[in-house]
Structures are given as structure tokens and as C-alpha cells.
């Protein structure tokens, strides 16, 4: 992101009353435990590392978050 990093974006999102209740799953290549901890402290409900996460898992995480079961696709 050219003008701010993901931490700053997440922090701004969670401070804004219009967006604060939107659940956020962070998809990143930052794999340090401290990075995940910081994101969760800022309000992220999930944390996936791009290099280690197949797209099918991303889809399943979003479905779980939305309370939906596997659609069979």
C-alpha cells in the first residue's frame, strides 16, 4: 500500500464508527508472531499468511466468518 501500511489502515477502520463492527481477516506475508498479535489487538478476527494459505482456505475462513457452510462448489 503506497501511502499507509496495513496496521494503520486497520487502526483507522476500527476507529471509524461506520466501519468498526466490520470483521477483518488480515491476509499478509508478515509472518512474525508480533505482527499477528498487533493485528489482533487492533481488532482483526483472523490472520492468514499469503505464502502459506491456499485460496480455498481463505474462502473457507470468510464463509465461517459469515456463518455459511460449504456450498458444495
- Domain extents in the chain: 6-66
Per residue in 11-49, pLDDT (tens digit) is 999 999 999 999 999 999 999 999 999 999 999 999 999
Per residue in 2-13, pLDDT (tens digit) is 899 999 999 999
pTM of the model: 0.83
pLDDT(55) > 60: yes
**Which of helix, strand or coil describes residue 25?**
strand
First CA to last CA distance, the chain: 32
46's enclosing H/E stretch is: strand 46-49
CATH class of 6-66: alpha beta
Amino acid at each position: 500500500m503506497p501511502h499507509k501500511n496495513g496496521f494503520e489502515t486497520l487502526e483507522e477502520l476500527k476507529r471509524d464508527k461506520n466501519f468498526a463492527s466490520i470483521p477483518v481477516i488480515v491476509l499478509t506475508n508478515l509472518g512474525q508472531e508480533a505482527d499477528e498479535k498487533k493485528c489482533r489487538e487492533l481488532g482483526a478476527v483472523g490472520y492468514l499468511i499469503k505464502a502459506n494459505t491456499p485460496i480455498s482456505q481463505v474462502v473457507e475462513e470468510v464463509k465461517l466468518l459469515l456463518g455459511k457452510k460449504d456450498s458444495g462448489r
